[in-house]
Structure 1
Amino acid sequence: MSSWLGGIGSGLGQSLGNVGGSLSSFTGQISNFTKDMLLEGVEEVGDASTELQMSNSKLADSEAAFTSQKSEHERLRMLYAELEEKLEASEIQIKSQSAEYRSLLQQKDVEISHLKARQSGLHEEFQTLQKSSQSSSEINRLSNEVLSLEAEVTHWRRISQ
């Protein structure tokens, strides 16, 4: 799960990087446009009327390009803000889940410790029962031997009488 969330964070980081790249590209486009306008301004025109028309045409083109670039800039700024919000939300979610998993891990560690202690106690109890079983077998063997010896004693007493 955390790798999935890490992927989201990484994806958002890349998206923010892409927005930054788009802004950089936008700045480059404005620079190129400005250079083009300055170079075009150097062109010589014969009469004032034609020069005014060219200037007005260039001004209209510049205003249209500016409006277009301004709206693109605004769109990218909003996209950047949206991606930043998503990144922050993902980071908060990741921190919350990490804390949750750490807590769960601590609980499991405690549970493992209790189970190990129980296993150790059961192992000791098993060994005690095993020793008791061996003692019980020895008692039974000795009891049988005593009965056998008593029977032999009885047999020899009869013979001796």
Structure 2
Amino acid sequence: MEENNKFKILFESIKSKFDYLSNADNCLDGKAGTLMGFEITLGIGYLSFVIGGLEGIKFYEGVIGLALLGISTILLLVVNWPKNYITISVNLSDHKEYLEKSEKDLLLQLTSDAQNAFTENNKILKRKVKLYRLAMALLIISSFLLILSKVGKFYV
């Protein structure tokens, strides 16, 4: 029985890591959605300035800034796009053999399943974080270019 407690503790620790990863993923989705809304607002605001009067607008900085802002928004859309995640819960209709296992073997199997789910979902989260960081960098660069396009004289 003591050995089963060891496996229960191991399973609970992996489950805790899985929950932590899920919370981090949800937080990143929220940040990306908010930032996407900000970028769309920034683009619309800039275009309203441009449409209001083209005098004093530096064309290349404005176009490049809007293009980078668009790319950043698309990257954030990719970050928020639904992904195929693996859960740690098991569908018993697909795995009837789990019901025939001893408690120790079942805990080992569930622990292995949970670790595999964590590993796969962690790969997805790492990809999303890279895209989010790239989108943030593009937002900073595009904001700088949009500001420069509106400034009449810029001295370095």
Which structure has greater helix proportion?
Answer: 1
State which structure, 1 or 2, has the greater radius of gyration over its C-alpha atoms: 1
* TM-score normalised to structure 1 length: 0.48
* TM-score normalised to structure 2 length: 0.50
